[in-house]
Amino acid sequence: MARRLGVASWKKKDGAEQAHVAARAVVLVKPLSFMNDSGIPLSRIAGWWKTPAPELLVVNDDLDLPFGRLRMRASGGSGGHNGLKSIIAHFGEAFPRVRVGIGRGRSDTIDYVLASFAPDEERELAKLIGVAADGIERWLASDTAGAIALVNGWRPASESLLERPARSEDTPRAS
């Protein structure tokens, strides 16, 4: 979204990197806190801009969605995602979100989430990010139903990617 909105620079403030796009009345926020505390900087920034929860759009990874799947909801629970739990603690559940499926690996969750994508996944990322950004653009244009239909209706070109390929740390190493 930053690229699409022409963001040239970010500033660090209130525990996050922020970019204000005045022409679109948008503030992009990348919390710098631990994921489990991501609601803290978001709350500070939303408070400064006087942004109510329904006007936030949270984008997060999701282990429980297969790689390449997108899911958008107008509101809802955390689904066990600790970052969403933190945001919900500050805003309640009434904020829209886009979940980006990364699937589950066979290694430790933290190592898996921080690992590089497999080559097959890398080939799908540009399209996946593009569709998510298209949905966000529709949401910004006040077309929530259209955004949800677009995001939830998209499927990766190769459904075989939904069966998680191994990443380097998923492969046992010789000791």
Delimit the domains of the chain by residue range: 11-161
pLDDT at 19 over 50: yes
Residue type, 13: K
- Residue 32 CA to residue 20 CA, distance in Å, equals 17
- Residue 34 CA to residue 31 CA, distance in Å, equals 8
Say which CATH superfamily domain 11-161 falls into: Peptidyl-tRNA hydrolase (3.40.50.1470)
- For position 167, what pLDDT does the model report? 46
> Which residues does 3 contact at the CB level (< 8 Å), separation at least 6?
none
Tens digit of each residue's pLDDT (9 = 90 or more) over 56-102: 999 998 888 888 899 999 999 988 898 999 999 999 999 999 999 88
- For position 117, what pLDDT does the model report? 81
**Length of the chain in terms of residues written:** 175
pLDDT at 106 over 70: no
Residue 165 pairs with which residues in a beta bridge?
none
